[in-house]
Amino acid sequence: MNKDKLSVIIPTYNERDNMPLIIPGVSEILRGKGIPFEILVMDDDSPDGTSKAVDELSSSYPETRCIVRKDNRGLSPAVMDGYEHATGDIYLVMDADMSHPVTKVPDMYYAIAKDGNDISVGSRHAKGGGIENWPLKRKIISFGASSLARPLTSCKDPMAGFFAVRPSVIEGAPLKAKGYKILLEVLVKGNYDHKKVKEVPITFKDREVGESKLGSKVILNYLQHLVKLYLFPGSAPFFKFLFVGGTGMLIDLGLLTFMLYLLGDGKNDYLISQSISFAAAVSWNFIWNRFWTFDARKGSAGGQYIKFSIVALIAFGVRFGLTYVGVDLLGIDEQPLYQVLTIGVIVIVTVINYIGSKLWAFKK
Ligand code: GDD
Ligand code: MN
């Protein structure tokens, strides 16, 4: 059997003293398992002589090379650059400071090479994972940061700096190196099967040598990055769906008012105005949902439009039906109860609309 080659990408800035730990650590374990590999140390021209330390190791560990970067410095750009230089069939990223257990590297590899996953994540929040020696402050920040990203991905540890991918996941994906959280960027924008993300539990150890480079600027950066990821087509579809639905409702009401003003407000006028404004709102929602909410531009637009309209009509019917049951059969007509009924009906109808859109009209 032809074995997949692993490219281990290690971004570094002032990690000289960690090189004699991480390079032998990773190399021995991969050699022991007979996994073909290369190690790319992506160093931002560290003043402490990180690259020299790598060169000194390279006679014993010829699979390792150091690439010294002088432009566009930073963690994410260094990782992206690593992807450009990598020659393997699977790319793995890990920190230089021994925070990520080298013993888990083979598991991360096998999750893709053997089990056929597209992405594997060294996860602190998967069952069996954890964090050692982290101060409370860091834990709180980390919890807050992952919570904000929750709607973007089902991965439990999207902030991890330890993960592996098939090259096809990132090839052609519009990844931006500015975002600090590169895994999150990959999870939102990458090309992969969402069921093929494997979380390998790890215990994250705080570094013993050197200092963390993540300061408060990183937090601000992260928040800006999050905004962009939430706006990216196809991410957090339920939020986008609600937003689009809200704008559609405004169009519906606005157009209805305008049509009634043009036509008058007899019973027929109302029916015509209502139908036109409903159709306009459905079309408006359709366009935004197709291109933005679900990023379903690859499917046939005509088929999607018909299905989406059917879903909207069904939801519309359910709305009337439920209101009829509530008001006429159950006799709900007092003020606060009527509002409660209406809210309940809107929630149910929204869920029907959403499920019909996601699982049927815009199904990929
Ligand atoms: N090339 C390059 N350029 N590498 C960098 C830079 C840079 O500007 N800044 C940091 N690195 C390297 C470090 O040398 C280290 O190997 C790795 O990136 C992580 O940096 P740390 O400073 O050790 O980060 P951390 O321990 O605070 O954060 C880690 O854990 C977080 C999880 O909470 C990282 O893995 C984060 O990505 C992760 O989110
Ligand atoms: Mn660290």
pLDDT digits (tens, 9 = 90+) for 252-285: 999 999 999 998 877 788 889 989 999 999 999 9
Q: Which residue has a Cα nearest atom 30 of ligand 1? A: 161
Give the pair of three-digit tokens for residue 291. Answer: 């291109």
Q: What is the CATH number of domain 6-231?
A: 3.90.550.10
pLDDT tens, residue by residue, 94-120: 999 999 999 999 999 999 999 999 999
Determine if residue 261 is left, alpha or beta; phi over 0 gives left, psi from -120 to 50 gives alpha, anything else beta: alpha
Mean of pLDDT over the chain? 93
Atom number in ligand 1 closest to CA 42: 1
pLDDT given for residue 48 in this prediction: 96
Each domain of the chain, given as residue ranges in start order, spans: 6-231, 237-361
324: pLDDT strictly greater than 70: yes
Give the pair of three-digit tokens for residue 76. Answer: 């994410």
Q: How far is the CA of 194 from the centre of ligand 1 (A)?
A: 26
Q: Band of the pLDDT at 207, cuts 50, 70, 90?
A: confident
Q: What is the mean pLDDT of residues 5-30?
A: 97
334: pLDDT strictly greater than 60: yes
pLDDT given for residue 1 in this prediction: 57
User: Whole-prediction pTM value?
Assistant: 0.90
- Give the DSSP letter of residue 115: T
Q: What is the mean pLDDT of residues 164-168?
A: 98
Q: Which residue has a Cα nearest atom 21 of ligand 1? A: 212
| 206 alpha carbon, distance to own chain's centre | 25
Q: Band of the pLDDT at 331, cuts 50, 70, 90?
A: confident
Other CB atoms within a 10 A radius of the CB of residue 239 amount to 13
Q: Band of the pLDDT at 216, cuts 50, 70, 90?
A: confident
H/E element, 249? helix 237-263
Angle 187-294-306 from CA coordinates, rounded to 5°: 155
pLDDT given for residue 348 in this prediction: 95
Distance CA 155, CA 121 (A): 8
Mutate-to-test residue for ligand 1 from 8, 10, 13, 159, highest number of ligand atoms within 8 A of CB? 13
Lining residues, ligand 1, CB within 6 Å: 11-13, 15, 42-44, 73-75, 78, 95-97, 99, 142, 159, 161, 207, 212-214
Q: What is the mean pLDDT of residues 123-129?
A: 94
Give the pair of three-digit tokens for residue 345. Answer: 């009906």
CA 128 → CA 15, 20, 124, 162, 295, distances in Å?
29, 29, 8, 16, 35
Give the pair of three-digit tokens for residue 243. Answer: 């937003």
Which of the ligands is closest to the CA of residue 80?
A: 1
